[in-house]
A = this chain, B = another copy of it.
């Protein structure tokens, strides 16, 4: 991204100062969207969505809470910071168009490290056609903090909220679940081994997919595009960030309905199953409570079943019931359990 990266001219944040740093990091931004009237460089960015509606969402990523610098490459971190944010825009059935990036950075961080972070941010912008239009860069007394706000547009009639699920709607999810959580467990395991004996090289063979799910998640633009192609508008939708259980309960509570989902329908990648078994975890529990998969969880009218049934990227995992407050999980042994919003702490405490 930054052409003078290897010239060794600057490597200390103090030498550049705030204005110099921002200029250095943003000099190669290319704006691609017609709706971006003015990007970086004034008091505010200016956008023009004309007759469309504006969608806005924000996320804060904190070192030591959301990411561990020991095993997170900065380019991946920048990429992920953008993709998890625009995933929320897709979850509205909208198209991301612009974002602002604010960073609180320790003086100990080198300009090269920040360039790597920005390289990941701008790569994600390029892949998803989003313009970086503003932000703020400041010092931090401790770790790195990344705050991103994403803006997007949609026709009013296309927007999908969380509160539209109706009785008999089908519950669907894209891709597979639990992989991001298993990727994190692998990274944490190797970190522990490394801390005990720094000479041991990490062994991630066969688990590339899981590491990618954790370190470089992709938002499901393709699924949103598919909705348009096959002529479906979900009745409710969100992206799976907290875990299937917790996120499905969000939809049900806001839609004032109940649900029934089936264990044998939950999509799992074979490497998620293998890694879970190796670590003596139940892969289904990882899928239910792991979170961070950034897959789309949505409900569709039963009438749309024929349109979606042959779509490889989507699984139908259950249906919406009129039984408000009742969230049923039917196990492979056909036992009925109550789904609860536990989050990932519960998985590890159980074992």
Residues of B within 8 A of A66 (CB): 138
In the complex where A44-B56, A238-B43 touch, is A141 in contact with B138 (Cβ < 8 A)? no
Beta-carbon contact of A89 and B44 below 8 Å: yes
Interchain CA distance A88-B59 in the complex, whole Å: 21
Query: Can you list 14 A-B pairs with a CB-CB distance of less than 8 A?
Result: A43-B88, A43-B91, A44-B56, A44-B92, A44-B150, A46-B159, A48-B54, A51-B51, A56-B134, A57-B134, A58-B100, A60-B147, A62-B141, A141-B142
A276 at interface, CB cutoff 8 A: no
A161 at interface, CB cutoff 8 A: yes
Beta-carbon contact of A143 and B141 below 8 Å: yes
Beta-carbon contact of B44 and A94 below 8 Å: yes
Beta-carbon contact of B57 and A44 below 8 Å: yes
A37 at interface, CB cutoff 8 A: yes
**Measured between C-beta atoms, what is the minimum distance from A250 to chain B in Å?**
9
Interchain CA distance A126-B94 in the complex, whole Å: 30
**Measured between C-beta atoms, what is the minimum distance from A268 to chain B in Å?**
24
A274 at interface, CB cutoff 8 A: no
Beta-carbon contact of B58 and A102 below 8 Å: yes
Residues of B within 8 A of A143 (CB): 141-142
Beta-carbon contact of A62 and B138 below 8 Å: yes
Q: In residues 31-70 of chain A, which contact B (Cβ within 8 Å)?
A: 37-38, 41-51, 53-60, 62-66
Beta-carbon contact of B62 and A139 below 8 Å: yes
* Residues of A in contact with B, size category: 35 or more
A239 at interface, CB cutoff 8 A: yes
In the complex where A56-B151, A103-B60 touch, is A91 in contact with B51 (Cβ < 8 A)? no
A98 at interface, CB cutoff 8 A: yes
Query: How many chain copies does the complex carry?
Result: 2
* 13 further contact pairs, Cβ within 8 A, besides A51-B51, A62-B140, A65-B104: A43-B237, A46-B53, A47-B56, A48-B53, A48-B156, A50-B51, A54-B54, A58-B100, A58-B147, A58-B149, A60-B147, A62-B145, A64-B141
Beta-carbon contact of A152 and B94 below 8 Å: no
Interface of A is mostly: strand
Residues of B within 8 A of A138 (CB): 60, 62, 65-66
Interchain CA distance A138-B94 in the complex, whole Å: 25
> A143 — nearest CB in chain B belongs to which residue?
B141
> A37 — nearest CB in chain B belongs to which residue?
B53
Beta-carbon contact of B37 and A57 below 8 Å: no
Interchain CA distance A33-B143 in the complex, whole Å: 37
A311 at interface, CB cutoff 8 A: no
Residues of B within 8 A of A55 (CB): 44-47
**Measured between C-beta atoms, what is the minimum distance from A199 to chain B in Å?**
29
Beta-carbon contact of A62 and B104 below 8 Å: yes
A80 at interface, CB cutoff 8 A: no
A254 at interface, CB cutoff 8 A: yes
Interchain CA distance A140-B141 in the complex, whole Å: 12
**Measured between C-beta atoms, what is the minimum distance from A129 to chain B in Å?**
17
Beta-carbon contact of A54 and B60 below 8 Å: no
> A90 — nearest CB in chain B belongs to which residue?
B43
